[in-house]
Every structure is written in C-alpha cells, then in structure tokens.
Structure 1
Amino acid sequence: MFYGIVALYLALALMLYFNFLLQREVKRRIATEKQLIEKIAHKDKMEAIGNLAAGIAHEIRNPLTSIKTFVELLPQKYDNPLFREKISYFVPREIERLNSLLNTLLDYARPRKSLQQTENLLDLVRNTLVLFGTMFEENKIRIAVEIDPDLKVFVDRQQIQQVFINVIMNAVEATEGVSEPKILIAAEQKAKEVIIVFQDNGMGIENDNLRKIFDPFFTTKPTGTGLGLAVSYQILKENMGRIWVESKPGEGTKVFISLPIGKEV
C-alpha cells in the first residue's frame, strides 16, 4: 500500500515536471516564431523602400528644384513685387510638400511597437499613394480613389501602410503591358468593419496560383521574394483584419481588405 502511494506521487510529480517543460518549450517556440515574423516583416518593409527609392528621390527633387530656382532668381528679382508675391506663396508650400513626404517615409521606416488606434482611412491611403507618384507617372497608371473622407479604421498606421504598399506594388506590376492601366481604391463600411478593395485591370492570376499567393516565398516574379502578401496576411491578422483575393486571367484582380471600424474618440 505504502509503495503504491509513493509510486503514485512519483508519477504525478513526473507528469507535473514534463508539463512544465512542455509549457516552457511552447512559450519559447511562440517567442521564436514571433521574432521570425517580425524579422520577415522588416525585410519586406526594407525591400519595399528599395523598390520605391528612385520614385521617392524624384519626388524629393521636384520641390528642391523649385526652391533652388527661386533662390537663384532672388538677387535679380527681389525688387519685383510680383516675384516677391510668388516666392512667398510657392516656397512655403514646396517646403511643406517636402516635409510631408519625408515625414511619411520616416514614419513608415522607423521601427516601433505595434499600436492600434483610430485612423482616417483616406489619409492612410493618400499618405501611401504619395510614395508612388513617380511610379504612376512613368507607367501612365490612372488612379481613382473612392473613399468617404469620414471613414475611420482602428489599426496600427505603420503596419497597415506596409500592407497597402505591398498590394499597390503588386497592382502596378500586374498592369505592366496594359494599354490603359488603371487602379481603383474604394471602401465601404459594413456593420463593424470597413471593406477596402484594390482593383486593377492587369493580367490577373491563374487559378492554381491563386491558392498559393499567401504562402511565404511563393512568387511568379523573376526577382520577387514572395514575402509581400504573406507578411500582409500576418499583419492584418494582428490588426483583427482579413485579406482575400478575386482574380481571373486577363480580367484583372481585386484585393479585399477588412479592417475593424474606428472607435469613437
């Protein structure tokens, strides 16, 4: 009887010990997976900045060129009232344009902890589109935005901007070779969520590939990494959102993103 009780206690102690080891291992693996996801997301972000670098440099150069022109004319034309009026009007606006672009870029690139808060959706989209200005111009892509200016979402601004950049970049690449490339960004509120659609008239996606687009490292591009949509899926999951895609070869693609509606402030 005594030995039976001792054996029972030993078995219970072993079970508790192995349970402790199992819980510790699970926590370690969860932490490791989270770190890996963060590293992949950062790699994806840096890749996006690299792809946009030439266009961003061009966007920065434009206001600098305007300011430089005014400064060079200053000694000759300062006594001209019309010139002084123009420099007083245009230079501050060009500086503000430059400052806004740099703030958008720095906010996107700066690493920080995730912070969900109420954001204006139209502002998020516009701040993302400004990074694509030169790319749209060079590829003659027509952009249409149909979003209620009062629509709010509850998200991490930096993370959602990364998702938008990935989706828009894919749309730009999909419209290569199209005679009149177009991208439409629209949104509507449904109950407690906001549905955003990014629609392009590009080449579309084969049905076999459509099932794999969220798989890490899956890509059909010669120089692609296959991280963009996989990272976007994880980011949206963290922000209580969803993403799904509808596409047919030759008929373009629609990318749908669901985000929680903004909370009342």
Structure 2
Amino acid sequence: GRLDDLQKLRKSLETLIHQVDALSGIASSFSTFAKMPLPKNELMNFKAVVTRVLDLFKNDEKVDLIFQDDSYTDTIPIMGDEKLFGRVVSNLIINGVQAVEEGKTPQIKVWLWMTEQAVFLEISDNGKGIPEELRDKIFIPNFSTKSTGSGLGLAIAKSGVETAGGKIWFETNFGKGTTFYLTFPIAT
C-alpha cells in the first residue's frame, strides 16, 4: 500500500542522500588529484553495478527513468573499480536530472548494450544541453556548471574510467539534452 511506497521512497532517498554525502566527502578530500587513491583494477560485473544504481533511482517519482537493456546477459565482466564506477554512473544520472530546467520532468534514458569486445552505457537527459563555451571544460578538475560542488565529479570519473582502459565522452544538443557515453573493454 501507500505506506510501503513511502517507505520504499524513503529508503531510496536515504541511499541517495548517503551517496551524495559520500560524493561530496570524496570531492572535498581530493584537494588535488595527486592525493587520489588509485582506483582498484579488479574483475567485476558491470551489469550488476548499473542495475544497483538504477534501483536507487527507480522509485523516484520526480524522475522519469527509462532503462533499455540490450545486453541480454546478467554478467558483463570488465576490469575496474566497482565502487568508483557505481559513483560515476549515479553521478551521470544526477547530472542529467540537474540539467533539466525547473518545472520540466527530467527524462533520463539509460541504454546498456554490448559487442563481443566492449560494453557501452549511454545516459541521455532532456535537459538544457551544454553551451558551446563549456563543452571542452566538462572534464577539467574544479570545473562545475553548478554553483555548489567542487566540480571534481567528472574529472575523477574520467580519470577512473581511463585508468581501467575505458572511455567517457558526451554529445550535446543545446536546448534538447545531453548524452554521456561510457565504454569498457570486456574482460576475457
């Protein structure tokens, strides 16, 4: 019933708040990249990470989250840092939600697909898009389009993803939205 829903919502909000706290804690403790702990590079299941992150958001009525899963498997083995990648994916979703102007429901599309060699995750929003003059700054440490936050989020994301042999990039349409792409080689 309604109470269950409320408890579910509270639980996912608490998890989210906990995550955001963890993120800002991480950001503030990284005054420089030099002090950054090296990401782990272990065999992990990328699909499990994505699913876990999506579970955090799926009870949020304020966000229209669409997950298109074309991976057709429960296990997507990659090398990397499970915690870090979980943060990267949730960060990209939160960024997408925050890119949407007031009064408009954020619609976040998450598309997971793979080839024999690689896995791809695309996260699209229906936000304002990234203005031209900011596009080449998105991954620079200490850059943030938001007034709060250290702006380390995407710089850390990029460095963690690239350490693991992956890539992260984006395409944006001003006024229409932005898509972030993540790809990792499949571990064999």
Q: TM-score, normalised by structure 1?
A: 0.54
How far off is 1:169 after superposition?
A: 1.1
How far off is 1:221 after superposition?
A: 1.0
State, as a whole percentage, how many aligned pairs show the same letter: 28
Question: Taking structure 1 as reference, are residues 209 and 149 closer, same or farther at Cα in structure 2, changes over 3 Å only?
Answer: same
More relative contact order, 1 or 2 (CA 8 Å, 6+ apart): 2
What is the correspondence of 1:67-106 to structure 2 with a 5 Å cutoff? Answer: none
How far off is 1:117 after superposition?
A: 0.6
Runs of 5+ in structure 1 lacking a partner?
1-54, 63-100
- Out of 186, 189, 200, which is 2:125 matched to? 200
1:144 aligns with 2:66: yes
User: Retained in 2: the 8 A contact 1:186–1:197?
Assistant: yes
How far off is 1:218 after superposition?
A: 0.9
Find the counterpart in structure 2 of residue 58 from structure 1.
10
Q: Flag as ranges the 4+ runs of structure 1 deviating above 6 A.
A: none
- Report the Cα distance in structure 2 between the residues aligned to 1:143 and 1:113, rounded to whole angstroms: 29
1:209 aligns with 2:161: no
User: Retained in 1: the 8 A contact 2:39–2:84?
Assistant: no
Question: Secondary structure in 2 aligned to 1:253?
Answer: strand
- Report the Cα distance in structure 1 between the residues aligned to 2:141 and 2:41, rounded to whole angstroms: 25
More helix per residue: 1
- Out of 25, 38, 42, which is 1:116 matched to? 42
Find the counterpart in structure 2 of residue 183 from structure 1.
108
RMSD, aligned CA = 3.1
Find the counterpart in structure 1 of residue 179 from structure 2.
254
- Report the Cα distance in structure 2 between the residues aligned to 1:222 and 1:177, rounded to whole angstroms: 16
User: Retained in 1: the 8 A contact 2:111–2:122?
Assistant: yes
Range moving further from structure 2, 125-134 or 195-204: 125-134
User: Retained in 2: the 8 A contact 1:56–1:131?
Assistant: no
More strand per residue: 2
Give the aligned residue type for 1:256: Y
User: Retained in 2: the 8 A contact 1:175–1:181?
Assistant: yes
How far off is 1:187 after superposition?
A: 2.0
Question: Taking structure 1 as reference, are residues 118 and 254 closer, same or farther at Cα in structure 2, changes over 3 Å only?
Answer: same
User: Retained in 1: the 8 A contact 2:168–2:181?
Assistant: yes
Task: Compare CA radii of gyration and give the structure with the larger one.
Answer: 1
Question: Secondary structure in 1 aligned to 2:113?
Answer: strand
How far off is 1:260 after superposition?
A: 1.4
Question: Secondary structure in 2 aligned to 1:211?
Answer: helix
Find the counterpart in structure 2 of residue 173 from structure 1.
98
Question: Taking structure 1 as reference, are residues 220 and 118 closer, same or farther at Cα in structure 2, changes over 3 Å only?
Answer: closer
Runs of 5+ in structure 2 lacking a partner?
1-6, 24-36
How far off is 1:249 after superposition?
A: 1.4
What is the number of residues matched between the two proteins? 162
- Report the Cα distance in structure 2 between the residues aligned to 1:240 and 1:120, rounded to whole angstroms: 14
Q: TM-score, normalised by structure 2?
A: 0.74
